[in-house]
Amino acid sequence: MQEIAYVNGVFCPMEQATVSINDRGFQYGDSVYEVIAAYGGRPFRMADHLHRLGTSLSALRIELDLTTLKIESLVREGLTRCGFDEAMAYIQITRGVAPRTHIAPPGIKPTVVMTFRPLPQVSAPAKEHGVALMTAAEIRWAMCYVKATTLLPNVLTRMDARAGGFHDAIFVAPDGDVREGTSSNVVMVRGGRLVFPCRDASILHGVTLLTVTQCAEHLGIACEERPVHIDELRAADEMFLTSTTEEVLPVTSLDGRPIADGQVGAITRRMMATYHDLARGLGVFQDRRRNSA
Ligand SMILES: Cc1ncc(COP(=O)(O)O)c(C=O)c1O
């Protein structure tokens, strides 16, 4: 087992992978990315991730046909080569290499980079007791549905959260509209239903959130997608984050105040367990293993 990379057609050990300093991903953050989790060597929800990658590429007007690139089989090959049972496939596509000037020359060829590493594991205490979050001002741009690598607001806000002793922060707009975490979507439980902000341009349309809504349907739990005000979030019965690497992560306090009784809620536990089993093809989902990608 080893961490490996793929750069423009060639697989190599991670430490040998390089790109040009004239790459627009480096110069301007002119690039998009995806993170796909693999369980038992199999990519989970790959079709959804690649669909979103296509959306991000179109939004940045980067011309690259993912089917021609055979991206799906490259991801599978990388997962086989790295050999990790639970792996994280990272894909980054930049506009390409050119002398630094805002307008890229015509015909520029996108740079395609992938890395394959072990899937980060969420700590047992975080899963058992939930995490503490803080709220933060929404300082990002108007196209947050694009999974772009220009993540400075997210990075700085996460740094502030960690410096303050919080696990993460939730972006909240000046009018109190709840957006999302720095690398996750946010869901609250109210009256037995899952309630989460509208998947418009202001947030990333999480593949995990989509999967969670399907788990909820399987469990007979209703979902409501609508604007969520911060006051409502503070008064939630339960709260959790969703992301590819953190799966379903319980939140038990916000800005130092407990959510409900400050314990991980019953519905959150059911969502965590159901997602865990679906992703790994366990329990009632054993027969779905082959279709999980
Ligand atoms: C800002 C943001 N929101 C939400 C998510 C969750 O998306 P997904 O569930 O597809 O991993 C991410 C994941 O990285 C993210 O960066």
Residue-wise pLDDT tens digits, 80-101: 999 999 999 999 999 999 999 9
Residue 147 catalytic? yes
- Locate all alpha helices (DSSP H) within 130-229, ordered by sequence: 152-163, 207-219
Q: How confident is residue 289, by pLDDT bands cut at 50, 70 and 90?
A: low
Domains (range + CATH), the chain: 4-118 (3.30.470.10), 124-283 (3.20.10.10)
pTM above 0.85, yes or no: yes
Query: Which residue has its alpha carbon closest to ligand 1 atom 7?
Result: 206
- Does residue 206's CB lie within 6 angstroms of at least one atom of ligand 1? yes
Which long-range CB contacts under 8 A does 5-10 form with residues at least 24 apart? 5/113, 5/114, 5/115, 5/116, 6/74, 6/78, 6/112, 6/113, 6/114, 6/115, 6/116, 7/111, 7/112, 7/113, 8/111, 8/112, 8/113, 9/112
242 lines ligand 1 (CB under 6 A): yes
How far is ligand 1, taken at its centre, from the CA of residue 17, in Å? 25
C-beta of 208 in contact with ligand 1 (< 6 A): yes
Model pLDDT for residues 57-70, shown as the tens digit of each residue: 999 999 999 888 89
State mean pLDDT over 141-162: 98
What pLDDT is recorded for position 283?
87
Ligand 1 close to Cβ of residue 244 (< 6 A) = yes
